[in-house]
């Protein structure tokens, strides 16, 4: 099937080509740019009139916790910073079941697709006896929804009795963790170009796993050539914990466990000193900037421009839906613009820059060179937005309006050449039934712990 996305109102090619009259999709990939006044070189099977649409590459989410959609705006966790926030929620999350993981993954991925996100990475690190098959549940869910996915096998192994933050009923034996990591990679990881599903390994954080596990997970990941991910340098509390527990700062800890490498991307990356940013860039480490979560928990501001200038890939992540509290990738792009302008000034951060972070930057974090741009030969992942809402009335620059005026719902979304959203509706998914089931499970989970 050859489809011409014709005459877009605006199209974001990041200055790399002339596609004023659209692009041609051939099967799963982009095969042609159509310049102003031109037409496709060969016949097409379908013409999609995009004259009312702003067309951008599908947004790429580099950090999330899908299960947290079940605990949005939870009373016991309101108005708290990261460590007390986690301590409030861990007892609730300990009640997760495989069904809850499955349904929350479906809901989060549906929400992401509707916001123009075509690829998403999830960091699932919480396993109990009731959710021992969480990875299988997630894989089944992302395939049902149709989003391109990186599912990370996270882990927690150091509980409160050994100086960690999580309660004992949320941690696992380290041999069990490593065996399951190996199994999940062999069962599900697809390293080929155009892959719809990849696996990464993701110990949760310095305050929830041992140094030995960090080292062993890295060795396993490199045997299988998969990416590594973790939280790092999110709060000053974390820095204090590392100084007290390991007698070093978080980045020194990362280097000590052999994680200072180009196969690693980190969530948050706020509290790095200048020399540490230089070291991160030299090693090719990626950073997932999570602006809304960082503001919601009062954590701080990621130094995006310095990280990029030193060579780090910087992408954007919505983070968990208990610290955001939504999974809207297009809104996250606007939040990145506003937070970074607050730090650097309006003249140094543009709408094109944050769109590039959420597409090409995010793709680099995930180690993908086949997504993130509307270029010939790339995967046909794209999001189309209309500017017919009252918030856009009077807008002069359509692409700028997408970010500055606060777009939040894509009109159409394509993944690997297949339409997944049309007319702001998710195709092939009974969203009302999904929302009802999700709400019931969220109520069951939250009622399992006394909030008083």
Contacts of 264 (CB under 8 A, 6+ apart): 227, 228, 229, 230, 254, 283, 285, 286
Give the whole-angstrom CA distance, residue 265 versus residue 301.
17
**CATH code at 254?**
3.20.20.140
Residue 442 lies in a domain: no
Same domain, 182 and 273: yes
Residue 432 lies in a domain: no
Same domain, 358 and 267: yes
- Alpha helices for 357-451 (secondary structure H): 362-365, 398-404, 431-446
- Give CA separation, 196 vs 145, 150, 176, 192, 259, in Å: 12, 8, 27, 9, 26
Give the whole-angstrom CA distance, residue 393 versus residue 387.
8
Going by C-alpha positions, the residue among 152, 148, 142 that lies closest to residue 119 is: 148
E strand spans, 19-164: 22-26, 29-33, 46-49, 53-57, 59-61, 117-124, 148-155
Same domain, 293 and 342: yes
Angle between helices 431-446 and 98-114 (to 10 degrees): 130
Question: What pLDDT score was predicted for residue 104?
Answer: 98
Same domain, 381 and 360: no
Give the whole-angstrom CA distance, residue 444 versus residue 88.
17
Same domain, 293 and 224: yes
Residue 25 lies in a domain: yes
Contacts of 430 (CB under 8 A, 6+ apart): none
Same domain, 162 and 220: yes
Contacts of 78 (CB under 8 A, 6+ apart): none
pLDDT at residue 121 above 60?
yes
Query: What is the pLDDT confidence band of residue 233, given thresholds at 50, 70 and 90?
Result: very high
Residue 440 lies in a domain: no
- DSSP annotation of 79 reads T
Question: What pLDDT score was predicted for residue 451?
Answer: 42
Question: What pLDDT score was predicted for residue 350?
Answer: 98
Give the whole-angstrom CA distance, residue 195 versus residue 216.
26
Contacts of 13 (CB under 8 A, 6+ apart): 19, 33, 373, 374, 375
Same domain, 86 and 127: yes
| φ and ψ of 417, to 5 deg | 80, 5
Same domain, 82 and 177: yes
Give the whole-angstrom CA distance, residue 62 versus residue 50.
28
- Our count of domains for the chain comes to 2
pLDDT in tens, 53-90: 999 999 999 999 999 999 999 999 999 999 999 999 99
Under DSSP, is residue 353 helix (H, G, I), strand (E, B) or coil?
helix
Same domain, 101 and 224: yes
Same domain, 163 and 225: yes
Query: What is the pLDDT confidence band of residue 293, given thresholds at 50, 70 and 90?
Result: very high
Domain boundary among 314, 346, 365: 365
Instruction: List the domain range (segments joined by +) for residue 415.
Output: 2-57+372-426
- DSSP annotation of 58 reads P
Same domain, 236 and 316: yes
Angle between helices 174-188 and 134-145 (to 10 degrees): 30
Query: What is the pLDDT confidence band of residue 15, given thresholds at 50, 70 and 90?
Result: confident
Residue 437 lies in a domain: no
Entry pTM: 0.98
Residue 431 lies in a domain: no
Residue 210 lies in a domain: yes
Going by C-alpha positions, the residue among 357, 404, 443 that lies closest to residue 57 is: 357
Question: What pLDDT score was predicted for residue 31?
Answer: 97
pLDDT at residue 214 above 80?
yes
**CATH code at 382?**
2.30.40.10
Query: What is the pLDDT confidence band of residue 123, given thresholds at 50, 70 and 90?
Result: very high
Going by C-alpha positions, the residue among 87, 63, 67 that lies closest to residue 76 is: 87
What's the whole-number mean pLDDT along residues 382-394?
98
User: For 185, how many CA atoms within 13 A lie in the half-sphere containing its CB?
Assistant: 21
Of the chain, the percentage scoring pLDDT greater than 90 comes to 96
What's the whole-number mean pLDDT along residues 219-244?
97
Residue 443 lies in a domain: no
pLDDT at residue 452 above 90?
no
Give the whole-angstrom CA distance, residue 336 versus residue 346.
12
Question: What pLDDT score was predicted for residue 16?
Answer: 79
pLDDT in tens, 297-313: 999 999 999 999 999 99
Same domain, 10 and 81: no
User: With contact defined as beta carbons under 8 Å apart, do 421 and 114 qualify?
Assistant: yes
Strand 425-426 to strand 2-6: parallel, antiparallel, or no bridges (unpaired)? Answer: unpaired
């Amino acid at each position: 099937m050859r489809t011409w996305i014709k005459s877009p109102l605006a199209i974001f090619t990041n200055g790399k080509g002339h596609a004023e009259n659209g692009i041609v999709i051939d099967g799963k990939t982009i095969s042609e740019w159509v310049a102003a006044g031109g037409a496709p070189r060969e016949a097409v099977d379908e013409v999609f009139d995009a004259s009312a649409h702003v067309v951008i590459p599908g947004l790429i989410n580099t950090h999330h916790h899908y299960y947290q959609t079940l605990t949005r705006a939870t009373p016991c966790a309101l108005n708290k910073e990261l460590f007390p926030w986690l301590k409030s929620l861990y007892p609730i999350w300990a009640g997760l079941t495989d069904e809850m993981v499955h349904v929350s993954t479906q809901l989060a991925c549906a929400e992401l697709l509707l916001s123009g996100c075509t690829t998403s990475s999830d960091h699932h690190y919480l396993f109990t006896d009731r959710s021992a098959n969480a990875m299988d549940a997630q894989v089944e869910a992302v395939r049902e929804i149709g989003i391109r996915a990186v599912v990370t096998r996270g882990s927690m192994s150091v509980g409160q009795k050994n100086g960690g933050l999580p309660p004992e009923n949320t941690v696992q034996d380290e041999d069990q963790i490593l065996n399951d990591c190996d199994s999940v990679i062999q069962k599900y990881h697809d390293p080929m170009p155009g892959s719809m599903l990849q696996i990464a390994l993701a110990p949760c954080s310095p305050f929830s796993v041992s140094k030995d596990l960090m080292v062993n997970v890295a060795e396993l990941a490199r045997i299988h050539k998969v990416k590594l991910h973790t939280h790092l340098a999110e709060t000053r509390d974390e820095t204090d914990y590392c100084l007290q527990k390991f007698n070093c700062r978080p980045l020194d800890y990362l280097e000590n466990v052999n994680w200072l490498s180009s196969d690693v991307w980190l969530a948050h990356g706020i509290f790095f000193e200048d020399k540490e940013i230089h070291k991160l860039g030299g090693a090719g480490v990626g950073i997932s900037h999570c602006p809304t979560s960082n503001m919601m928990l009062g954590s701080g501001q990621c130094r995006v421009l310095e990280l990029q200038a030193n060579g780090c890939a910087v992408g954007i992540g919505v983070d968990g839906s208990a610290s955001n509290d939504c999974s809207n990738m297009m809104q996250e792009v606007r939040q990145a613009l506003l937070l970074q302008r607050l730090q650097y000034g309006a003249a140094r951060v543009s709408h094109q820059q944050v769109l590039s972070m959420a597409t090409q930057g995010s793709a680099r974090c995930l180690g993908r060179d086949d997504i993130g741009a509307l270029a010939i030969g790339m995967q046909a992942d794209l999001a189309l937005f209309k500017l017919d809402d009252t918030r856009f009335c009077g807008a002069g620059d359509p692409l700028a309006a997408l970010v500055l005026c606060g777009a939040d719902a894509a009109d159409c979304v394509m993944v690997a050449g297949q339409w997944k959203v049309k007319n702001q509706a998710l195709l092939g998914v009974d969203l009302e039934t999904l929302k009802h089931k999700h709400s019931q499970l969220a109520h069951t989970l939250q009622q399992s712990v006394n909030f008083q």
